[in-house]
Amino acid sequence: MTTAQHLAELWPGERPEAARRLLSAAVESFAKRGFHATTTRDIATQAGMSPAALYIHYPSKASLLAEISRTGHAATLALVERAVAQAPEPREQMHRLVADFTAWHARGHTIGRIVNYELRALSEEDLAVVADLRRRIEDTVRQVIEAGIAQGTFSPTDTRTTARAVTGLGIDVARWYNERSTETPEELGERYGELVLRMLGAA
């Protein structure tokens, strides 16, 4: 899947074509220069539009960042919840969850970096929405670990630290993964899934 396809998946149909073009342009601009050094003019130019046309859809570059961050977090929460719903028990749930979460951050490394490393640039209100999504991701991971402990499958040394290591491993992939990486996102996901089962004492 290319970055363009990845983005198309994040911002499906109901959104006007121009809004989607602006979101993609904002992702590219923020990734290149960082949020603070990007102007709304940079984003409009990248999208082949005028600044005035941009303002019809988004009042500011901060509102673009907020939407990118919110949809990115919502997508990873959905993927984590899907892994739990579709696998029958904690061991498989965790393996699927880590594999999908890791592959998402490899495939969408550009957007993954913005979503995870530009949190400080969000307004207090936007950050609250994103923080809630992050909490739900962490909670889901922790619940799977607790279910595995109750069942006797997992024996972590510390549930909270392990839960954060699980999400941290996946998020960190966005930092270093690129198109020259030798592993596919899916291969990397499988391998990280195995590493996490080992961390939980369930390899």
* Distance in Å, CB of 113 to its own copies, minimum: 8
All residues at 6 or more sequence positions from 93 whose CB lies less than 8 Å from its CB, including other chains: 83, 84, 87, 144, 147
* Distance in Å, CB of 11 to its own copies, minimum: 25
DSSP label at 120? Answer: G
Nearer to its own copies, 32 or 82 (CB): 32
* Distance in Å, CB of 65 to its own copies, minimum: 13
Binding site for its own copies (CB under 8 A): 33-37, 113, 116-117, 157-158, 161-162, 164-165, 168-169, 171-173, 175-176, 183, 188, 191-192, 194-195, 198-199, 201, 203
Nearer to its own copies, 11 or 104 (CB): 104
Query: CA 48, CA 54: separation in Å to the nearest integer?
Result: 10
* Distance in Å, CB of 187 to its own copies, minimum: 9
Nearer to its own copies, 19 or 68 (CB): 68
CB 196 within 8 A of CB 95: yes
DSSP label at 60? Answer: S
* Distance in Å, CB of 165 to its own copies, minimum: 6
Query: CA 120, CA 128: separation in Å to the nearest integer?
Result: 12
> Could you give the angle at the alpha carbon of 36 between the alpha carbons of 13 and 6, nearest 5°?
25
Nearer to its own copies, 21 or 109 (CB): 109
* Distance in Å, CB of 75 to its own copies, minimum: 19
Query: CA 73, CA 134: separation in Å to the nearest integer?
Result: 7
- 109-139 per-residue burial string, b: 16 or more CB within 10 A, e: under 16: bbbbbbbbbbbebbeeebbebbeebbeebbe
Nearer to its own copies, 9 or 183 (CB): 183
Nearer to its own copies, 5 or 161 (CB): 161
- Cite the beta strand spans of the chain per DSSP E: none
